[in-house]
Structure 1
């Protein structure tokens, strides 16, 4: 889908767009090389627009590998955290309609809202949550498990948020927190009396004609399958993201959409951004978009050494003044410092956001001054954020950057580090491993609960080995290997981790489960379960109910899957 009338654009820029189609056609070969060398699986869809014109739309690989089905403009992908920008737009509409006030504390809308920090509980606003500036650490292990399973019911949102701990001062600390967007969604649902999915449909998707967008999967065929990548480069099919209608974290990353629909959305968004800033207005005639000067305005600086150019977070958007590093809310900074994009080239503002869930990567860039947008959707989690690297390759090609980054070499470097990540954690653990013997395994067996009793850890003895199970789920059983004394490790290999549909973690303390005794009796588990706070331990207290008694319901569930499996499980419980 290529346009031949770039010269008819309302904001034609000869230096930028002369020969743009030819450059973007050539960049497809580079993207294919990048996709291959980044060890990505599945496929990727990408589009570039200028003003109202789509100047590039293409697809590489397959949306379904086993059936070799290629994506098209209507194929539905999860857009993951790109959802956040849409939720921010909903909040802007609600503020415009007088349903809420950006600057009003959330507690005025949600009577049961509580926080571990009094200042957050009393003063945090919708805008604070949209900008990730509450200073409260997000903890994603609390809610997401293997194969994109969501551990908690949405009714647990407020009580769960109340347990999250401080990582830095309120309004001066950037702390990415998915829970905050669920808080915003709860406020929106409260003031409108409608579900988030309905609000997205009524306020955004229907007015813009986005017929392929929503928070549920349709299962009608033209949707992606999801993949992880093993160390030998082979793909492993996993469950696709399940942040559906009414599910916890729907607001943080639940929208599914197509390239076609997203082109409609981001073209209209880009026009409205320019219109509202140019006219000092918070609305655009005939547009759904309101309050964009607040939503895309800088709200808090990114952490790290300050530079001459802006690096900040807005409301569901990152602001980067080029030249500068991009991709700062994705996987790649876990393994390497992000390169400077645009060295020696004119300075421009880049509004962008990435999205990540197991089996899915996404990114959007909007450069409002030149009315350009780049969208990349991918149906796998590679050993790097390939969608991010592809988008940056497109950007530097389109803008003819004088000192382009070699993203193929960069991807190769990150891939090596990612594949070696679990071995690195193992070495770090081995360096501090002790030689104290464990206690008797029967002492550890039992059910342990977090402080608000909505997260459960079962410790089982089976085949003379200890196992750990989260939330009583079949998919959440992990081997516990003795580490030192009453401490055990649940670290698994790279391939086992990604085959489960889990993301890699890099903090050694995260993989250690420490049993605490009072006298000779094991009474609790201590676990550093937040990667944002690797030195802060969460205590899970042993429940009163015995593992044997609490296993009846579990046994009934397993009986449905076969008598042999059930008998083995029953035998394990009685050893």
Structure 2
């Protein structure tokens, strides 16, 4: 098997060249031993520095499994339970629907039913528009997209809240817990959290332009008071992750068989419960495909296509049926993929420093998994997928632009532009949208940020759109994939029937923005209020006392 893995090098390089991925490091653990490691390309394109097994990459959402593992440790100590309700830890979490009863297990498994509202925190240049104090308020007011515990809806804010649950339950910061519970016991030396400094063996972050060239962007997940840290801000290396996943797999196996004897010395606790499927995930297979706690479960052979922007081949065809536990990490400039096969103590880890033109790490991960399973890899199939997926990513952005232009019915604003200017707040007033008049035109500035300021183009009556072409989006570290509605702002408050108001009368003072597509309808309504100084210290309790 080792020679077959080594022989994958040329195919891996070809896929990376096609999809626009500057640097990759990978590792394979099998039967509990390191079977293969390799690195390709550059961790620093300008200086032509190659990555190695100790190069740290942002692992993005692979962080979730580590957060879940620390929850398991705290549960094992009796400080929490999977059935503990969120309001029991944070009394300020208050809702008037079924989601008021959200538990730790619901948060871990993305079955809260709440819309993710990622559009409220994800900004250009890998910056985050909100701080940690807004996590509970967001869960308080996020609409339910489905009934509690009935549907898988991925929610990054849920894992931010789990990080805060850890802190509240232990009295330590997330970073302190990571060091005390995982880094130090396992002897990891290339694993870091958000506020720790970068060094000269840290992969730089890149996006890929239309011509396949690389553009360096600010790193993701770095800074104080970071929202989403517990969901995606750990940096690690192949060398460290192989140690971590070996311990995790050992814990899973020993705790199933003889937990009281074999599992006692392992840092990971409650592992079988954390790896159990909690909610089904839609899939093209009759076999199991579910979400556990920071992990996805798939019974192979299966088409493993969650979050994939291309049609992957059937994985594991020709092999005996077996359980695969996996996850991915994906944000502009940072990508990762991890697959575990507990029964054979196998782990496949792939880390990269660009989202590229498609999810390259998932593609590479599948190639490596097939090789580990002893299956033949059809190189042409994977190369053709890489070519088609990369082309489709670029074309999808251009298609949205064409759709916006096709829907455009006016060239000039319906009203004087001063009718639209002002600051518009969501209901909790922790997010605002500035509409600014400059030199006879208007712009939108999300949270007043210069990084998120865009010219507005008249679209339809009292509505405008903003737009960035593919290269400009990449340079701002904005991921593609949003439909045309995301770029449209509609002004005017939702109409109410009144015999005093004519059909042509529109009450101004509101704008509607569809930033969340798990919910039906035109989008969220933001209401104009007098400008007031913005502070990063709203505080959850402060907001809700003011609103009452």
Q: Deviations over 1:273-300 (max 9, x none)?
A: 1222233669713101111111001111
2:409 to 434, 449, 468: 434
CA RMSD of aligned residues (A): 2.0
Q: Deviations over 1:310-352 (max 9, x none)?
A: 1000000000111012251x3x33xx33331122321111110
Q: Is the 8 A contact 1:37 1:412 kept in 2?
A: yes
Q: Is the 8 A contact 1:342 1:402 kept in 2?
A: no
Which structure 1 segments of 5+ residues have no match? Answer: 1-19, 554-575
1:275 to 247, 254, 257: 254
**CA distance 1:169–1:281, change in 2 (3 Å):** farther
Q: Is the 8 A contact 2:436 2:444 kept in 1?
A: yes
Bigger CA drift: 452-461 or 78-87?
Answer: 452-461
Bigger CA drift: 169-178 or 431-440?
Answer: 431-440
**Matched residue, 1:478:** 454
Q: Relative contact order (alpha carbons < 8 A, sep ≥ 6): 1 or 2 greater?
A: 2
Instruction: Report the CA distance between 1:400 and its aligned residue.
Output: 2.1
Residue aligned with 2:276, SS = coil
Q: Is the 8 A contact 2:109 2:292 kept in 1?
A: yes
Q: Is the 8 A contact 2:32 2:346 kept in 1?
A: no
Instruction: Report the CA distance between 1:457 and its aligned residue.
Output: 0.9
Which structure 2 segments of 5+ residues have no match? Answer: 496-504, 536-548
Q: Is the 8 A contact 1:459 1:468 kept in 2?
A: yes
Is the aligned partner of 1:54 residue 2:34? yes
Residue aligned with 1:341, SS = coil
Residue aligned with 1:160, SS = helix
**Matched residue, 2:189:** 211
Is the aligned partner of 1:127 residue 2:105? yes
Counterpart-to-counterpart distance in 2, 1:524 and 1:424: 29
Q: Deviations over 1:31-71 (max 9, x none)?
A: 1111112222x201111111332111111111111111111
**Matched residue, 2:384:** 409
Q: Deviations over 1:424-452 (max 9, x none)?
A: 11233334333485221121111111111
**Matched residue, 1:315:** 293
**Matched residue, 2:426:** 450
Instruction: Report the CA distance between 1:487 and its aligned residue.
Output: 0.6
- Calculate the TM-score normalised by the size of structure 1: 0.87
How many residue pairs match? The answer is: 522
2:372 to 380, 392, 398: 398
1:80 to 29, 47, 60: 60
Q: Deviations over 1:360-401 (max 9, x none)?
A: 000111111121111111001111010111111111122122
Counterpart-to-counterpart distance in 2, 1:130 and 1:92: 11
Instruction: Report the CA distance between 1:186 and its aligned residue.
Output: 1.5
Residue aligned with 2:456, SS = strand
**Matched residue, 2:344:** 370
Residue aligned with 1:461, SS = strand
Counterpart-to-counterpart distance in 1, 2:175 and 2:524: 34
For residues 484-499 of structure 1, the aligned pairs below 5 Å read 484-499=460-475
Counterpart-to-counterpart distance in 1, 2:349 and 2:276: 21
**Matched residue, 1:16:** none
Counterpart-to-counterpart distance in 1, 2:293 and 2:128: 25
Counterpart-to-counterpart distance in 1, 2:533 and 2:170: 41
Counterpart-to-counterpart distance in 2, 1:468 and 1:283: 59
**CA distance 1:81–1:209, change in 2 (3 Å):** same
Is the aligned partner of 1:185 residue 2:142? no
Instruction: Report the CA distance between 1:244 and its aligned residue.
Output: 4.5
**CA distance 1:520–1:537, change in 2 (3 Å):** closer
For residues 12-411 of structure 1, the aligned pairs below 5 Å read 20-40=1-21, 42-115=22-95, 118-121=97-100, 123-216=101-194, 217-244=196-223, 246-279=225-258, 284-304=263-283, 307-328=285-306, 330=307, 332-333=308-309, 336-402=310-376, 404=378, 406-411=381-386
**Matched residue, 1:561:** none
Residue aligned with 1:411, SS = helix
Residue aligned with 2:328, SS = strand
Residue aligned with 2:383, SS = helix
Q: Is the 8 A contact 1:324 1:340 kept in 2?
A: yes
Q: Is the 8 A contact 1:283 1:290 kept in 2?
A: no
Q: Is the 8 A contact 1:497 1:503 kept in 2?
A: yes
Instruction: Report the CA distance between 1:402 and its aligned residue.
Output: 5.0
Instruction: Report the CA distance between 1:245 and its aligned residue.
Output: 5.3
Counterpart-to-counterpart distance in 2, 1:247 and 1:354: 21
Q: Is the 8 A contact 2:114 2:139 kept in 1?
A: no
Q: Is the 8 A contact 1:507 1:531 kept in 2?
A: no
**Matched residue, 1:514:** 490
Instruction: Detail structure 1 runs of 4+ shifted over 6 Å in the superposition.
Output: 280-283
Counterpart-to-counterpart distance in 2, 1:125 and 1:214: 29
Residue aligned with 2:338, SS = strand
Q: Is the 8 A contact 2:116 2:156 kept in 1?
A: yes
**CA distance 1:453–1:262, change in 2 (3 Å):** same
**Matched residue, 2:499:** none
Counterpart-to-counterpart distance in 2, 1:357 and 1:247: 16
For residues 540-559 of structure 1, the aligned pairs below 5 Å read 540-545=526-531
Instruction: Report the CA distance between 1:534 and its aligned residue.
Output: 5.8
Bigger CA drift: 291-300 or 424-433?
Answer: 424-433
Counterpart-to-counterpart distance in 1, 2:460 and 2:303: 42
Counterpart-to-counterpart distance in 2, 1:436 and 1:286: 69
Q: Is the 8 A contact 1:509 1:534 kept in 2?
A: no
Instruction: Report the CA distance between 1:418 and its aligned residue.
Output: 0.2
2:521 to 535, 544, 549: 535
Q: Is the 8 A contact 2:15 2:383 kept in 1?
A: yes
